[in-house]
């Protein structure tokens, strides 16, 4: 147990309480740890309601990035803030025993306003706002953001009748209001009152340490609630509540979906025997949909903030976080990749010169043969990430360039001999084979992976589209117009884009991150 576990946490009072609780429990199990506080976007941007920030995981993504960069070992979150799908490489390591899951109303003077036509209630939660308006349709609900103490101060300083808080948050920071009412009729956020610990998937030490903190009953309930949320495809942008409770040998799950204005409400509840509860969330969602839930979700999506730009490659949480906060982005893969099974006989032969222009080709090689069996004398590749992957999994790279054309130009002057093996895709528009052929360099092409166009119609309001290959442009054009700005990863992609788009911008480096930086600069 010599490793000191670095615990990432937001630096708010509540977040630090949660992180110290984890630290204390780890210490009781014999593990050493240190806190690493980090500010999140949700803490920094306080002038907009959460749903207007246009992203999920607004309080967690900064810690996700820190973990993926190796700056922390685990992260501690209020579980209700965590997206239902964790970033690739990050897993749930433990859920602590749940605290109070209720919402409470803190009010100033008396409760008379509850029976009056006019009143002002403050909350930054779309779920709380919708449920309040469903019960009190003539009241006004104003936005309230900030940490627990900041929100309490704002209630005191403003002429509001009351404000809604999570009971667990108040209890954990020791904040008491003189007048409060438990909102037993309000369905809480999925996993409200629970604290979750996440870790890197390949960090066995941290996962083993955190597993000892896991509370099984809380894990069962929060898993059901978050599954209900996930199946409804909701996040910060949809008014969704869920609560699972275990009593004796039964598990019950209550779920609610409302319109943003609270005028429409669909509430369902199912009960099952413990151990046979796996499909409770599906049953609840199916009932919600049968009562008009799909139409309601479509209406909610229609009033949500539409994206400004679209990426033709699915973005990771870390990549989305790289965009400036005032840019809303959506993404999907316009090219589907499938790795080919490369004949072992072809791979076991000695290859004097090998050319690899994609990480997909590296993955195909690794999937087809044990890298120790490869006999590659010289490896030439395109891109730093491809180079890093090759040297991590296969062997040393002789030379790399930032584009296929630049690599071809280099090989014309520097290749040893006059033959090379090119592990490539079935679809490509790069100039490398042509340039080498013009200079009498014989190229043996082996299709390591296949690419298939997967076009998708995007919203007409999109102003810019990010492209990473000529094939992604061809796929995009099958369903969409050219009345957008094309942000391109390199010269080859840009050359294809210029045939169709009037505005084409090229990133300085042939990396996805560089394309995002190009968008950020354009939106300054």
Per-residue CA distances from 374 to 365, 378, 385, 393, 421 (Å): 9, 12, 20, 11, 13
d(CA 251, CA 474): 51
In the numeric block, which tokens belong to residue 227? 């599954």
* 155 neighbors 176 (Cβ within 8 angstroms): no
Per-residue CA distances from 254 to 83, 125, 230, 241, 269 (Å): 20, 19, 15, 8, 4
Per-residue CA distances from 388 to 349, 384, 457 (Å): 24, 6, 35
DSSP symbols for 212-265: TT--HHHHHHHHHHHHHHHHTT-STTS-EEEEEEEETTEEEEEEEEE-TTSS-E
* Alpha-carbon dihedral angle through residues 211, 216, 218, 221, given to the nearest 10 degrees: 120
Do the bridges between strand 195-200 and strand 74-78 make them parallel or antiparallel, or are there none, so unpaired? antiparallel
Active-site annotation holder among 81, 203, 308, 517: 81
In the annotation, is 81 catalytic?
yes
- Chain centroid to Cα 21, Å, comes to 26
Q: Tokens 């275990």 sit at which residue?
A: 246
**89-111 as b/e: b if 16+ CB within 10 A:** ebebbbbbebbbbbbbbbbbeee
* 164 neighbors 122 (Cβ within 8 angstroms): yes
Strand (E) or helix (H) holding 206: helix 204-211
Catalytic residues: 81
């Amino acid at each position: 147990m010599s490793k000191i576990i670095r615990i990432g946490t937001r630096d708010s009072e509540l977040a630090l309480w949660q992180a110290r609780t984890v630290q204390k429990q780890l210490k009781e199990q014999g593990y050493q740890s240190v806190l690493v506080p980090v500010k999140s976007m949700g803490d920094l941007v306080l002038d907009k309601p959460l749903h207007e920030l246009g992203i999920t995981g607004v309080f967690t993504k900064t810690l996700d990035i820190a973990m993926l960069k190796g700056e922390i070992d685990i992260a501690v979150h209020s579980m209700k803030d965590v997206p239902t799908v964790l970033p690739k490489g990050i897993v749930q390591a433990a859920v602590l025993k749940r605290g109070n899951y209720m919402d409470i109303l803190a009010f100033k003077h008396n409760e008379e306003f509850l029976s009056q036509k006019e009143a002002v209630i403050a909350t930054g939660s779309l779920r709380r706002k919708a449920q309040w308006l469903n019960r009190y349709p003539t009241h006004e609900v104003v936005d309230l953001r900030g940490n627990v103490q900041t929100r309490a101060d704002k209630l005191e300083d403003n002429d509001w009748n009351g404000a809604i808080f999570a009971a667990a948050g108040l209890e954990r920071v020791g904040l008491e209001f003189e007048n409060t009412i438990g909102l037993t009729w309000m369905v809480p956020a999925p996993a409200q009152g629970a604290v979750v610990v996440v870790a890197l998937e390949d960090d066995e030490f941290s996962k083993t340490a955190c597993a000892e903190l896991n509370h099984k009953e809380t894990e069962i309930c929060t898993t059901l609630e978050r599954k209900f949320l996930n199946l409804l495809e909701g996040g910060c942008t949809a008014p969704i509540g869920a609560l699972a409770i275990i009593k004796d040998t039964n598990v019950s799950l209550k779920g609610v979906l409302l319109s943003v204005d609270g005028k429409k409400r669909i509430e369902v509840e199912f009960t099952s025997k413990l151990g046979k509860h796996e499909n409770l969330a599906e049953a609840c969602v199916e009932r919600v949909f049968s009562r008009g839930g799909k139409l309601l979700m479509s209406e909610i999506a229609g009033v949500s903030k539409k994206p400004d730009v679209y990426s033709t490659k699915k973005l990771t949480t870390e990549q989305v976080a790289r965009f400036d906060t005032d840019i809303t982005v959506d993404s999907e893969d316009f090219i589907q990749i499938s790795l080919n099974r490369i004949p072992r006989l072809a791979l076991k032969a000695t290859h004097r010169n090998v050319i690899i222009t994609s990480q997909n080709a590296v993955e195909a090689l690794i999937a087809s043969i044990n890298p120790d069996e490869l006999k590659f004398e010289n490896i030439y590749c395109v891109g730093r990430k491809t180079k890093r992957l090759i040297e991590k999994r296969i062997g040393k790279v002789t030379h790399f360039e930032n584009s296929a054309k630049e690599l071809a130009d280099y090989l014309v002057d520097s290749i040893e001999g006059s033959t090379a093996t090119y592990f490539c895709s079935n679809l490509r528009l790069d100039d490398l084979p042509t340039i080498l052929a013009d200079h009498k360099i014989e190229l043996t092409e082996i299709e390591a992976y296949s690419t298939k166009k997967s076009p998708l119609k995007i919203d007409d309001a999109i102003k810019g589209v990010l492209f990473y290959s000529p094939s992604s442009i061809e796929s995009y054009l099958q369903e969409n117009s050219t009345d957008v700005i094309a942000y391109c990863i390199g010269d080859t992609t840009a050359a294809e884009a210029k045939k169709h788009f009037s505005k084409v911008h090229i990133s300085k480096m042939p990396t996805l991150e560089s394309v995002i930086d190009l968008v950020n600069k354009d939106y300054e």
